[in-house]
């Protein structure tokens, strides 16, 4: 049975000629054909370089729509959730999306179709913006969900033992609450595109099947206009000219930290304080040569993968990950080498030993210490795809215009008898100002924004290169004439050689752009002093600022610094707020929920 299709008003998007052609195309098509056509055009829209501008949006209640919830630390989950939203909307489905931190938990009991896209951080932790969501789902207040159909797309890093832990836990919990798994959970590694794309395609098809009746009956209203997105992004980075590459640590410093200035002229890229810059790295040439020589392979050998044929040297230089060891590659190498030691690491008892090896070894270390035969084709097929590195932007665009500044700590150390580098930091540190370009894109970070009310005070805690976004914060607040006070806690090893941006902070203090500066140089005295010690010393004033409405920001190391600072804050709130440790922790979580305690940790 065929049906006549009435097209909605589209004069603002299509000419009369194209409208006529479209009417001729769809007239007489049955429901399956129309569904196929909508999927085909949705796929074209997803690949279009310009922004998608769907004709209409369906105004719906939670029970009659697809709801997408995402939890993200670096932006990848948000990016995939947005891709799914755009395709679902272009296919005519009723769809709504939420950051996990903004999802109205009271509506969960009414949901009928829910897709969750969420990453796992560190040792099985949820992203900061998803903590409340995850705790609610896992807690006693979670409702029965017998009418819910769901699926989970989980992102993680297989170099961590608890790979995609949060996605797995949520997936199992939804099922335990009575929900029906509509599409099997997919677990994505850092090179997530192929796995994610497969899940997106299947999930869209199942959503179309589930919601086609509701979508056809819903009320359609015009969408507001959509601002055109920048042309350049993850898949199409901008070749940015290097304007400056300056070492900002002094002689004798144990760390090489660089201040880089890159041009965005002609890119159309914009950013806000708190955003990150994605950088596509190139692996160190000496590392590529070491892999080739260790395996006795010829770099000129042509190898095919994912429909592309390139010389092996090109694959190893630009396309594949060499500085981060993944569990799948370790498992493949263990099988080839026949090593019982490596096999034991991959058992449930491997635990800490596996974690230690994945965090300490690069691919070359594995190849050298446990020899095994690899062909060029096998190696290219087994290594993880290269992924961009994200750096907190260290400038305000209101001050620097069509430039973007970075603060980069160069990873360079000796281990297992050879020199080791970080892919992106080594690459950036060797770029010549005025000669080289770097492929970049802007990654928005809505979780790390200055307060909308510029009269609010801000407390910034950023030791080491974690100070980068706070350089942008102080510049921005000065440019807009913010009335609120700015208080910075900075720490490093030595005052003389590692006081990053010292002259800028001193000038900001003099001009009133920075109101207070607390310093902690850990190795300038017998007892080590860190930023958490300075926080405790200024505890009463820190508490008074927070009580007065200040926003608190933490940026830097997630493994040690961030937990130590968090513990110090609980102590401060307990001591100076007259609260028990449990109540102090709860109050801090309240600040997090109010977007007044924000972290950008890695």
Q: By the 8 A CB rule, do 228 and 50 touch?
A: yes
Q: Provide the pLDDT confidence category of residue 17 given band limits of 50, 70 and 90.
A: low
Task: Tell whether 502 and 516 lie within a shared domain.
Answer: yes
Q: Which of 460, 445, 473 is nearest to 552 (CA)?
A: 460
Q: pLDDT, tens digit, for every residue of 72-86?
A: 888 889 999 999 999
State residue 73's pLDDT score.
82
Domain membership flag for residue 358: yes
In the numeric block, the tokens 């007489």 are attached to 28
Q: pLDDT, tens digit, for every residue of 145-198?
A: 999 999 999 999 887 778 899 999 999 999 999 999 999 999 998 888 889 999
Evaluate if residue 214 carries a pLDDT over 70: no
The CATH number of residue 478's host domain is: 3.40.50.80
Mean of the pLDDT values across residues 471-487? 98
- What's the CA gap between 117 and 77, in Å, rounded? 6
Domain membership flag for residue 163: yes
Domain membership flag for residue 22: no
pLDDT greater at residue 34 or residue 165 = 165
Mean of the pLDDT values across residues 338-358? 90
Task: Tell whether 178 and 277 lie within a shared domain.
Answer: no
Evaluate if residue 463 carries a pLDDT over 90: yes
Q: Which of 222, 257, 272 is the last residue of a domain?
A: 222
pLDDT greater at residue 255 or residue 63 = 255
Q: pLDDT, tens digit, for every residue of 533-583?
A: 999 999 999 999 999 999 999 999 998 999 999 999 999 999 999 999 999
Say how many domains are in the chain: 4
State residue 75's pLDDT score.
84
State residue 531's pLDDT score.
98
Q: pLDDT, tens digit, for every residue of 379-417?
A: 999 999 999 999 999 999 999 999 999 999 999 999 999
Task: Tell whether 290 and 271 lie within a shared domain.
Answer: no
Domain membership flag for residue 501: yes
State residue 48's pLDDT score.
42
Terminal C-alpha separation, the chain: 57
- What's the CA gap between 150 and 175, in Å, rounded? 9
Evaluate if residue 257 carries a pLDDT over 80: yes
- What's the CA gap between 180 and 183, in Å, rounded? 9
pLDDT greater at residue 161 or residue 438 = 438
Task: Tell whether 299 and 262 lie within a shared domain.
Answer: no
- Kind plus residue range of the DSSP H or E element containing 186: strand 186-188
Task: Tell whether 103 and 192 lie within a shared domain.
Answer: yes
- What's the CA gap between 555 and 525, in Å, rounded? 25
State residue 225's pLDDT score.
33
3-state secondary structure (DSSP) of residue 146:
coil
DSSP 315: I
The CATH number of residue 410's host domain is: 2.40.30.10
Give DSSP secondary structure letters for 317-359.
Answer: IIIB--SS--HHHHHHHHHHHT-HHHHHHTSTTTHHHHHHHHH
Task: Tell whether 368 and 399 lie within a shared domain.
Answer: no
Domain membership flag for residue 41: no
State residue 191's pLDDT score.
82
Q: pLDDT, tens digit, for every residue of 288-330?
A: 999 999 999 999 999 999 999 999 999 999 999 999 999 999 9
Task: Tell whether 169 and 254 lie within a shared domain.
Answer: no
The CATH number of residue 121's host domain is: 3.40.50.360
The CATH number of residue 297's host domain is: 1.20.990.10
Which domain does 349 fall in, by range?
Answer: 285-382
Domain membership flag for residue 51: no
State residue 235's pLDDT score.
87
Q: Which of 382, 403, 419 is the last residue of a domain?
A: 382
Domain membership flag for residue 47: no
State residue 43's pLDDT score.
45
- What's the CA gap between 269 and 61, in Å, rounded? 36
86 token code pair: 């755009």
Mean of the pLDDT values across residues 253-262? 96
Task: Tell whether 135 and 201 lie within a shared domain.
Answer: yes
Task: Tell whether 374 and 405 lie within a shared domain.
Answer: no
Q: Which of 443, 467, 484 is the last residue of a domain?
A: 443
Task: Tell whether 398 and 260 lie within a shared domain.
Answer: yes
Mean of the pLDDT values across residues 491-496? 96
State residue 45's pLDDT score.
45
Average pLDDT, whole number, for the chain? 88
- Give pTM, 2 decimals: 0.78
Domain membership flag for residue 40: no
Q: How far is CA 443 from the centre of its chain?
A: 8
Task: Tell whether 145 and 196 lie within a shared domain.
Answer: yes
Task: Tell whether 378 and 516 lie within a shared domain.
Answer: no
């Amino acid at each position: 049975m065929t049906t006549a299709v009435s097209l909605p008003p589209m004069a603002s998007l299509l000419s009369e000629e194209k409208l006529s052609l479209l009417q001729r195309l769809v007239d007489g098509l049955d429901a399956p054909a129309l569904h196929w056509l909508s999927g085909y055009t949705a796929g074209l829209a997803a690949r279009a370089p310009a922004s998608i501008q769907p004709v209409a949006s369906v105004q719906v209640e939670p029970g009659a729509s697809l709801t997408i919830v995402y939890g993200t630390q670096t932006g990848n989950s948000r990016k995939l959730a947005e891709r799914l939203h755009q395709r679902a909307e272009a296919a005519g489905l009723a769809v709504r999306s939420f950051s996990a931190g903004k999802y109205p938990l009271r509506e969960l009991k009414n949901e009928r179709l829910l897709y969750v896209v969420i990453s796992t951080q560190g040792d099985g932790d949820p992203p900061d913006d998803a903590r409340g969501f995850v705790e609610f789902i896992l807690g006693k207040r979670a409702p029965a969900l017998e009418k819910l159909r769901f699926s989970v797309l989980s992102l993680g890093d297989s170099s961590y033992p608890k790979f995609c832990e949060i996605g797995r836990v949520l997936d199992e919990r939804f099922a335990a609450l009575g929900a029906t798994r509509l599409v099997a959970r997919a677990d994505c590694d850092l090179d997530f595109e192929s796995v994610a794309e497969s899940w997106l395609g299947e999930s869209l098809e199942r959503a179309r099947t589930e919601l086609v009746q509701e979508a056809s009956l819903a009320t359609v209203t015009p969408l507001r206009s959509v601002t055109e997105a920048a042309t350049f992004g993850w898949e199409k980075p901008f070749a940015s000219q290097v304007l400056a590459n300056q070492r900002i640590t002094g002689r004798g410093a144990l760390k090489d930290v660089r201040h880089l200035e890159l041009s965005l002229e002609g890119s159309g890229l914009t950013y806000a304080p708190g955003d990150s810059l994605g950088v596509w790295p190139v692996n160190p040439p000496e590392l590529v040569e070491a892999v080739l020589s260790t395996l006795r392979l010829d770099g000129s050998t042509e190898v095919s993968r994912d429909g592309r044929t390139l010389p092996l040297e090109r694959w190893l230089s630009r396309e594949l990950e060499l500085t981060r060891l993944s569990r799948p590659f370790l498992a493949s190498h263990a099988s080839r080498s026949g090593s019982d030691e490596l096999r034991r690491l991959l058992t449930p008892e491997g635990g800490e030993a596996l974690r230690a090896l994945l965090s300490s070894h690069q691919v070359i270390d594995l190849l050298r210490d446990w020899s095994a035969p690899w062909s060029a084709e096998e190696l290219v097929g087994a290594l993880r795809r290269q992924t961009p590195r994200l750096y907190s932007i260290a400038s305000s665009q209101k001050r620097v215009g069509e430039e973007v500044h970075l603060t980069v700590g160069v990873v360079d150390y000796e281990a297992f008898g050879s020199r080791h580098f970080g892919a992106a930091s080594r690459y950036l540190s060797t770029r010549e100002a005025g000669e080289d370009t770097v492929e970049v894109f802007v990654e928005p970070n809505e979780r790390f924004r200055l307060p909308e009310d510029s009269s609010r005070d801000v407390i910034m805690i950023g030791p080491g290169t974690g100070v980068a976004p706070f350089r942008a914060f102080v510049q921005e607040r000065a440019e807009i004439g913010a009335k609120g006070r700015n208080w910075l806690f900075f720490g490093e090893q030595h005052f003389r050689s590692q006081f990053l941006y010292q002259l800028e902070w001193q000038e900001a203090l003099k001009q009133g752009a920075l109101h207070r500066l607390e310093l902690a140089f850990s190795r300038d005295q017998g007892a080590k002093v860190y930023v958490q010690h300075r926080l405790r010393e200024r505890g009463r004033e820190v508490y008074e600022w927070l009580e007065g409405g200040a926003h608190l920001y933490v940026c830097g190391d997630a493994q040690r610094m961030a937990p130590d600072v968090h513990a110090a804050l609980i102590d401060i709130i307990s001591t100076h707020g007259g609260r028990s440790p449990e109540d102090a922790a709860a109050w801090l979580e309240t600040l997090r929920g109010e977007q007044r305690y924000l972290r950008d940790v890695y």
